[in-house]
């Protein structure tokens, strides 16, 4: 444990919860302290790690810690508060403080019963309640191993400052499900409890009416550990919630369990190690999803570049009267601000698609400089019948500077969209955003003299389209990480209105696929990118082959992979003879609309975009932030007939492999190729150590290199 915590001099317990943060290779521990308070007081935090600086998120709390000495910080609180205490400029090694106001235990409902979990550990598996008029008390100091399911009951309250957790249960355990499940319930109150490390969706409401969730805390580290999912329910208020989840935080869905109406999420703080903070969709199998509101919410960290606010639809519901108001975004790591889209998806079942109408997104603030420029927001309908109408944007600000129009908000508007407006209601004295347009062009096109390595010159341009002087830093960025040779340093710019500056970059690339983009912490700089695919040319002479180089996000470099063909055989030489190598091949196919062209490991945590094919052009695909998701959602794109693989154990010297073993026809002169080095280090990582940066090469071939056999 790194921290100890004292409230008004009294030591409080510090516990740990599992977390799974980028690069998602291992489960680590999140320390947190959970206690109730009466009135104001002094919080003292002691850290075994030396403290050079300290920050409290969300910033909107306005709480400033005082560093007493190298290992001690004090915080004056006027009452209850929930926040992330972070030291030395990083969210890592943070401490979560859940200081809730003390409440008297409510009286037992008339004619009802009390279920009490006293301080201590209670292992219950799945605890089911079916009786109405029930009071469930999880006392401070109580830990319930398992989950509580409330079914077909009304007038039920769950309260107390204790913990409900499935942290002791492995993923796939027979103790399935989330930590709090309500099915066909009415008049339910849930408050003050903490839900830690679920196996599935953490808190689920299905076909319920009149539910109030107040002042609960949620952490999760496993797939599908959404925070709160309101499914096919009505008249639900969720407030004063803190989440750190490994999937969506606040979600609205419908699974043929009735319409969804009058749902409000407010006054909460969200942290997403994966997926979306606020989401309506994808499954919306109801007639109406109406009157949904998210308000006064802080997103303090969102790691993957997914949308902060999403409406994703593909079923028959009419989605209407949606409000997202007073949303403050802190560390969002390249994420979209919002994404509104109607499309086919693997999650949708209805044959008819509904529409989206009357959406109001207002008072949205990106409150701190971003190292990665936020992805462009998007509004995209499906057809004339499944369209999007009447979306109003209002008062978007970036680091305190307000957008003047929809272009300043960097919103892409696609087909079947009508009446999208931006209202600028910011005070006249408020600072305005000066948009700086960006451009990337090749001064010299990528040229290869050896069939493997390419050289080019890229010109990055900035133009100040605003009315006042702008300055800051920019940089060229190439994905996959560590795969290109170029100047990665920040460059300074200083631009008067109308002025332009250029910076030329000499870059060296190996054959493969890349995204080249501009990055800047100045919120005025527009995001632009270039996608390129470079063929690999090989000959029939392995002695003349030019080495290919393995590289990855972690900075590992392994040079010396050789490849040639002769007499319908693939001839290869591995750069290492002490580890296995896996070769993957596929035959090229014609690209199709919507096909995935590019995702790499760092797409998984927001540093690189995904790219798809739209109207024969590459376009950004911010909905694809998890490369592995493509195997589920897009099912092996591109649609190659087969991906063939061959594992060579500890290859010694030159290997000759008949085409027939690789699924290639005799005399083949064009094929798709990938190779994976099975190093010890890669065994514990989410994605393999692949030559062309494929993340799931046995299932998706979009990053395979196009190999051409020269005559």
68 is a domain residue: yes
CA distance 366 to 263: 25
Q: Pick the closest to residue 695 from 570, 553, 575 (CA basis).
A: 553
Q: Are strands 154-159 and 401-402 parallel, antiparallel or unpaired?
A: unpaired
The answer to whether 482 and 555 are in contact (CB under 8 A) is yes
> Do 122 and 60 reside in the same domain of the chain?
no
pLDDT of residue 628: 73
Q: Which of 694, 657, 649 is nearest to 563 (CA)?
A: 657
Q: Residues 6 or more apart from 39 whose CB is under 8 A from it?
A: 79
Q: How far is the C-alpha of 250 from the C-alpha of 311, rounded, in Å?
A: 12
H helices then E strands: how many in the chain?
1, 59
Q: Are residues 583 and 677 in the same domain?
A: yes
- Please say whether the beta carbons of 220 and 247 come within 8 A: yes
Q: Quick one: which of 245, 473, 461 has its CA closest to 369? A: 473
Identify whether 366 is part of a domain: no
Q: Is the peptide bond before 636 cis (omega within 30 degrees of 0)?
A: no
The answer to whether residue 698 is domain-embedded is yes
Domain boundary among 157, 186, 203: 203
In terms of domains, do 140 and 199 share one?
A: yes
Ranges assigned E (strand) in 424-466: 436-448, 453-464
Low-confidence residues of the chain: pLDDT under 70: 634-636
Looking at the fold, whether 546 and 656 belong to one and the same domain comes out as yes
353 inside domain = no
Range of the domain at 151: 115-203
Question: 183-217 burial, b if ≥16 CB within 10 A, otherwise e?
Answer: bbbbbbbbbbbbbbbbbbbbbbbbbbbbbebbbbb
Would you say 440 and 517 are in contact if contact means Cβ atoms under 8 Å apart?
A: yes
* CATH number (domain holding residue 126): 2.160.20.10
In terms of Cα–Cα distance, which of 233, 228, 307 is closest to 268? 228
Instruction: Report the predicted TM-score, pTM, of the whole model to 2 decimal places.
Output: 0.96
Instruction: Indicate if 542 and 665 belong to the same structural domain.
Output: yes
**Is the residue at 127 inside a domain?**
yes
What is the number of domains present in the chain?
4
Kindly state whether residue 326 falls inside one of the protein's structural domains: no
CATH number of the domain residue 61 falls in:
2.60.350.10
Is the same domain home to 530 and 541? no
139 and 78 part of one domain: no
Euclidean distance between CA atoms 513 and 695, whole angstroms: 13
Q: Are the C-beta atoms of 186 and 210 separated by less than 8 Å?
A: yes
Distances (CA, A) of 480 to 506, 670, 697: 17, 24, 16
Distance in angstroms (rounded) separating the CA atoms of residues 136 and 171: 27
- Of the CA atoms within 13 Å of residue 58, those in its CB half-sphere come to 28
Q: What is the pLDDT of residue 536?
A: 97
- Domain check: are 682 and 564 in the same one? yes
Contact (Cβ atoms closer than 8 angstroms) between residue 320 and residue 313: no
The CATH number of residue 497's host domain is: 2.60.40.10
Taking the C-alpha atoms of residue 123 and residue 683, their distance in angstroms, rounded to an integer, is 34
Residue 166: count other Cβ atoms within 10 Å of its Cβ: 29
Which residues does 566 contact at the CB level (< 8 Å), separation at least 6? 540, 541, 542, 656
Q: Is residue 339 part of a domain?
A: no
Q: What pLDDT is stored for residue 634 in this prediction?
A: 65
In this structure, the answer to whether residues 528 and 544 fall within a common structural domain is no
Same domain, 94 and 120: no
Please name which of 313, 379, 306 lies closest in space to residue 609, comparing C-alpha atoms: 306
Last residue of a domain, one of 203, 230, 248: 203
Q: What is the pLDDT of residue 670?
A: 97
First to last CA, the chain: 64
Note the pLDDT of residue 32: 98
Does residue 638 share a domain with residue 550?
A: yes
Query: Is residue 377 in some structural domain?
Result: no
| Beta-ladder partners of 180 | 148, 203
Q: Which residues contact 592 (CB under 8 A, 6 or more apart)?
A: 613, 638, 639
* 559 and 508, same domain (yes or no): no
Is residue 245 exposed (0-12), middle (13-18) or buried (19+ Cβ within 10 Å)?
buried
Say if strands 209-214 and 186-191 run parallel, antiparallel, or are unpaired.
parallel
- 252-264 b/e with 16+ CB inside 10 Å = b? bbbbebbbbbbbb
């Amino acid at each position: 444990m790194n921290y100890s915590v004292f409230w008004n001099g009294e030591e409080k317990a510090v516990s740990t919860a599992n977390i799974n943060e980028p690069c998602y290779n291992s489960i680590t521990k999140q320390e947190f302290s959970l206690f109730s308070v009466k009135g104001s007081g002094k919080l003292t935090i002691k850290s075994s790690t030396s403290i050079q600086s300290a920050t409290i998120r969300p910033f909107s709390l306005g709480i400033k810690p005082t560093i007493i000495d190298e290992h001690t910080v004090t915080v004056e609180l006027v009452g209850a508060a929930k926040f992330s205490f972070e030291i030395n400029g990083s969210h890592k090694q943070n401490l979560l403080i859940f200081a809730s106001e003390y409440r008297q235990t409510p009286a037992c409902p008339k004619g009802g019963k009390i279920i009490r979990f006293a301080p201590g550990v209670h292992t219950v598996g799945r605890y089911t309640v079916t009786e109405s008029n029930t009071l469930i008390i999880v006392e401070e100091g109580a830990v319930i191993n398992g989950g509580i399911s409330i079914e077909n009951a009304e007038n039920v309250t769950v309260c107390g400052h204790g913990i409900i957790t499935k942290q002791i249960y492995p993923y796939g355990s027979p103790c399935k499900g989330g930590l709090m499940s309500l099915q066909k319930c009415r008049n339910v109150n849930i408050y003050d409890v903490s839900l830690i490390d679920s196996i599935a969706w953490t808190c689920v409401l299905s076909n319920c009416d009149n539910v109030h969730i107040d002042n609960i805390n949620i952490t999760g580290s496993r797939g599908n550990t959404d925070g709160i999912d309101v499914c096919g329910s009505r008249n639900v208020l969720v407030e004063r919630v803190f989440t750190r989840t490994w999937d969506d935080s606040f979600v609205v869905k419908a699974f043929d369990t009735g319409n969804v109406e009058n749902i409000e999420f407010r006054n909460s703080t969200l942290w997403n190690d994966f997926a979306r903070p606020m989401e309506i969709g994808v499954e919306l199998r109801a007639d109406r999803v109406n009157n949904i509101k998210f308000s006064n919410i802080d997103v303090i960290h969102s790691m993957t570049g997914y949308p902060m606010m999403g409406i994703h639809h593909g079923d028959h519901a009419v989605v209407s009267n949606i409000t997202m108001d007073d949303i403050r975004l802190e560390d969002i790591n390249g994420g979209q601000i919002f994404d509104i889209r109607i499309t086919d998806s693997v999650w949708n079942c209805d044959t008819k698609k509904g529409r989206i109408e009357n959406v109001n997104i207002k008072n949205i603030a990106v409150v701190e400089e971003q190292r990665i420029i936020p992805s462009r927001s998007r509004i995209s309908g499906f057809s004339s019948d499944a369209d999007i109408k009447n979306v109003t944007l209002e008062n978007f600000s970036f680091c305190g500077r307000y957008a003047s129009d929809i272009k300043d908000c960097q919103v892409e508007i696609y087909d079947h969209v009508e009446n999208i407006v931006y209202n600028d209601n910011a005070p006249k004295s408020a600072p305005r955003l000066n948009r700086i347009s960006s451009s990337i062009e090749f001064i010299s096109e990528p040229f290869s003299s050896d069939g493997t390595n390419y050289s080019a010159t890229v010109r990055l341009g900035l133009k100040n389209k605003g009315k006042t002087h702008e300055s800051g830093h920019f940089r060229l960025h190439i994905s996959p990480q560590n795969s290109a040779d170029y100047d990665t340093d920040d460059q300074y710019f200083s631009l008067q209105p109308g002025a332009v500056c250029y910076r030329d970059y000499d870059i060296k690339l190996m054959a493969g696929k890349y995204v080249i983009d501009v990055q800047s912490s100045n919120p005025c700089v527009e995001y632009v990118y270039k996608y390129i695919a470079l063929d690999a040319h090989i000959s029939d002479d392995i002695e003349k082959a030019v080495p290919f180089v393995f590289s990855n996000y972690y900075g590992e470099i392994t040079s010396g992979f050789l490849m040639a063909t002769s007499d319908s055989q693939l001839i290869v030489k591995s750069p290492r003879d002490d580890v296995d190598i896996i070769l993957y091949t596929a035959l090229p196919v014609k690209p199709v609309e919507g096909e995935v062209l590019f995702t790499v490991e760092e797409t998984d945590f927001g540093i690189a975009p995904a790219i798809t094919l739209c109207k024969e052009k590459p376009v950004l695909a911010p909905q694809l932030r998890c490369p592995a998701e493509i195997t589920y959602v897009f099912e092996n794109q591109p649609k190659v007939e087969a991906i063939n693989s061959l594992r060579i154990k500890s290859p010694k010297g030159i290997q000759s492999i008949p085409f027939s073993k690789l699924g290639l026809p005799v005399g083949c002169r064009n094929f798709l190729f990938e190779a994976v080095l099975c190093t010890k280090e890669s065994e514990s990582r989410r994605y393999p150590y692949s030559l062309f940066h494929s993340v799931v090469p046995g299932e998706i071939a979009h990053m395979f290199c196009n190999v051409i056999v020269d005559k």
